[in-house]
């Protein structure tokens, strides 16, 4: 009974976030109330499991520490105008060409970094290149699709692909071989449709930010910050250091560098110090992200997500349908517990390494979250950074992401048919 109440409460909270524009309430407040309410309902029907709750808090805290550290690093680079190193190289007045340059850059970058880090970096870069909010929302939404697709074909590009890789469901070469083209097609189809809504050129007078001179030490800050972010998956792969630790190391080094460079200049360079950057961080966006994660964790802890997964297992006999539905569900529910449920339902004896189920699950779970803006970490961050309305994204972007999603699945099936026909 209480599980039913929990589901109803989650749905009501979800709807409140969707219609925040009409309620005139900050979505961060709604997300926090929804998260705590879900956990209170969970504790109301079970004796408190301290170990379980501690693990959930630990997992969420790691993501928040990572997000906060990465955002501060990016903010420090931005305060030095360090992104001018890239914007001078890729700037074009054409709106469509700007979109494609950023889309391909984010697609490949997210395969090396993770999609969350890439979105933070690319969103800051986008602000420098595209001054008009309407165009920035369109291009940024396309970048959400791109970073999620880029993470789907790399073992370190998305949490779900990393889970499948670590548990020996997928190997690196086979993942790239089978999933690169479907992921790329997903981006190309979505991008071609969305580019129809981008016309003309940017107004030169509105691009004055591009012409601001770089602050002292900007190049050192840019390369150290970018290097710190790139090294995050390296630390994890070589030393098994959690991603948030890699981000904290990078932040610490950036803090030391900027203090050494600017401390003797006092107030003259106060705006270049980390202390000033902290004041510019969007903490409401971070709290929104925190609330979404905690609410989803409550559903997972209550076994609701497992029941959904079991129902899918019984109802969908085909692994193709199962993986496709997982991708669609990941637009509403966090893809991590969904993939974890699939890992628990099927063993390597049922489906060996690199089988269709694991490959298509990696693609679907990685890209399906783009269909709704709160369906992926990249989308949630983008929503918080640009204050994008849920319904705006749903009306203009969701159908485009959905077409790209099914196009990628179609290409995967064609690949499989061609291979097996030989």
DSSP state letter for 94:
B
69: in domain: no
Distance CA 373, CA 18 (A): 10
Helices 319-329 and 398-421 pack at an angle, to 10 degrees, of 160
Residue 331: Cβ within 10 Å count = 22
Distance of CA 248 to the CA centre of its chain: 19
Sign of the Cα pseudo-torsion (308, 355, 167, 349, in order): positive
Give the separation between CA 398 and CA 127, rounded to whole angstroms.
Answer: 22
Residue 244 placed within a domain: no
What's the pLDDT at 64? 82
Residue 325 has what pLDDT?
A: 87
Give the Cα separation of 2 and 38 in Å (integer): 10
Q: How far apart are the first and last CA of the chain?
A: 54
Residue 201: strand, helix, or coil? strand
Burial bucket for residue 317 (CB in 10 Å: 0-12, 13-18, 19+): exposed
DSSP-assigned states of every residue in 14-77: HHHHHTHHHHT--HHHHHHHHHHHHHHHHHHHS---HHHHHHHHHHHHHHHHHHHHHHHHHHHH
How many residues appear in the chain? 422
Choose among 314, 365, 367, 330: nearest CA to 169: 365
For the chain, how many structural domains are there in total?
1
Inter-CA distances, 237 with 69, 165, 240, Å: 20, 12, 6
- 38 within 8 A of 294, measured Cβ to Cβ: yes
Look at residues 377, 349, 367 and name the one whose alpha carbon lies nearest to residue 408: 367
Quick one: pLDDT at residue 50? Answer: 62
Residue partners of 370: CB distance under 8 A and separation at least 6: 144, 145, 148, 149, 331, 376, 379, 401, 404, 405
- Calculate the CA dihedral of residues 371, 372, 377, 382 and round it to 10 degrees: 110
CA distance 95 to 115: 23
Q: Are 103 and 146 in contact (CB under 8 A)?
A: yes
**Quick check: is 72 in a domain?**
no
Closest CA to 193 of 130, 145, 133: 145
Q: What is the pLDDT of residue 422?
A: 43
| CB-CB neighbours of 172 under 10 Å | 12
Which domain does 345 fall in, by range?
Answer: 2-48+83-213+282-421
Is 297 within the bounds of a domain? Answer: yes
pLDDT value for 160:
79
The answer to whether position 296 is within a domain reads yes
- On whether residue 136 sits in a domain, the answer given is yes
The answer to the question of residue 218 being in a domain is no
**CA 314 to chain CA mean position, Å:** 30
Task: Tabulate helix, strand, coil % of the chain (nearest 5).
Answer: 80, 0, 20
> In tens digits, what is the pLDDT along the chain, a chain of 422 residues?
778 888 889 889 888 887 877 888 888 888 899 989 888 888 877 665 667 777 778 877 887 888 788 888 888 887 887 777 777 777 777 888 889 999 998 998 888 777 777 888 888 888 878 878 888 999 999 999 999 999 899 877 777 787 788 677 888 888 888 999 999 999 999 999 999 988 877 665 445 455 567 788 888 888 898 888 878 777 877 787 887 888 899 899 989 988 888 888 777 777 888 888 888 777 877 888 788 778 878 887 887 877 776 777 777 767 788 888 888 888 887 676 677 667 767 778 878 888 888 999 999 988 998 998 888 878 888 887 788 888 899 999 999 999 999 999 999 999 988 876 44
Q: What is the pLDDT of residue 211?
A: 57
The pLDDT assigned to 139 comes to 92
Would 134 be classed as within a structural domain? yes
């Amino acid at each position: 009974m209480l599980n039913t109440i929990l589901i109803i409460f989650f749905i009501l909270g979800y709807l409140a976030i969707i219609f925040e524009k009409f309620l005139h309430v900050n979505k961060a407040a709604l997300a926090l109330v929804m998260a705590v309410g879900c956990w209170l309902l969970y504790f109301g029907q079970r004796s408190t499991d301290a170990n379980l709750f501690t693990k959930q808090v630990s997992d969420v805290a790691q993501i928040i520490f990572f997000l906060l550290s990465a955002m501060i690093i990016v903010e420090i680079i931005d305060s030095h105008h360090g992104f001018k190193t890239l914007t001078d190289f890729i700037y074009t007045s054409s709106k469509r060409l700007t979109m494609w340059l950023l889309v391909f850059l984010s697609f490949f970058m997210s395969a090396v970094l993770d999609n969350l880090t890439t979105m933070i970096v690319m969103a800051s870069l986008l602000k420098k290149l595209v001054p008009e909010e309407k165009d920035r929302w369109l291009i940024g939404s396309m970048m959400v699709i791109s970073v999620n697709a880029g993470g789907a074909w790399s073992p370190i590009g998305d949490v779900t692909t990393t889970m499948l890789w670590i548990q020996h469901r997928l190997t690196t070469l086979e993942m790239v071989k089978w999933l690169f083209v479907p992921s790329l097609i997903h981006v190309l189809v979505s991008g071609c449709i969305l580019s129809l809504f981008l016309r003309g050129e940017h107004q030169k007078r509105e691009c004055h930010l591009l012409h601001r001179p770089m602050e002292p030490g900007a190049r050192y800050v840019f390369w150290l910050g970018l290097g710190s972010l790139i090294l995050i998956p390296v630390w994890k792969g070589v030393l098994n250091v959690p991603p948030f630790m890699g981000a904290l190391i990078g932040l610490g080094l950036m803090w030391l560098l900027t203090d050494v460079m600017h401390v003797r200049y006092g107030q003259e360079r106060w705006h270049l110090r980390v202390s000033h950057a902290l004041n510019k961080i969007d903490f409401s966006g971070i709290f929104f992200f925190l609330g979404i994660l905690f609410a989803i964790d409550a559903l997972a802890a209550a076994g609701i997500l497992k029941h959904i997964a079991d129902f899918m297992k019984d109802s969908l006999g085909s692994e193709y349908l199962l993986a496709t539905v997982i991708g669609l569900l990941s637009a509403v529910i966090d893809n991590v517990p969904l993939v974890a449920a699939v890992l628990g339902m099927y063993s390597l004896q049922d489906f060996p390494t690199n089988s269709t189920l694991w490959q298509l699950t990696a693609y679907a779970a990685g890209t399906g979250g783009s269909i709704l803006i709160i369906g992926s970490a990249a989308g949630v961050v983008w929503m918080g950074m640009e204050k994008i309305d849920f319904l705006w994204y749903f009306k203009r972007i969701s159908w485009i992401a959905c077409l790209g999603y099914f196009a990628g699945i179609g290409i995967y099936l064609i690949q499989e048919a061609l291979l097996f026909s030989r």
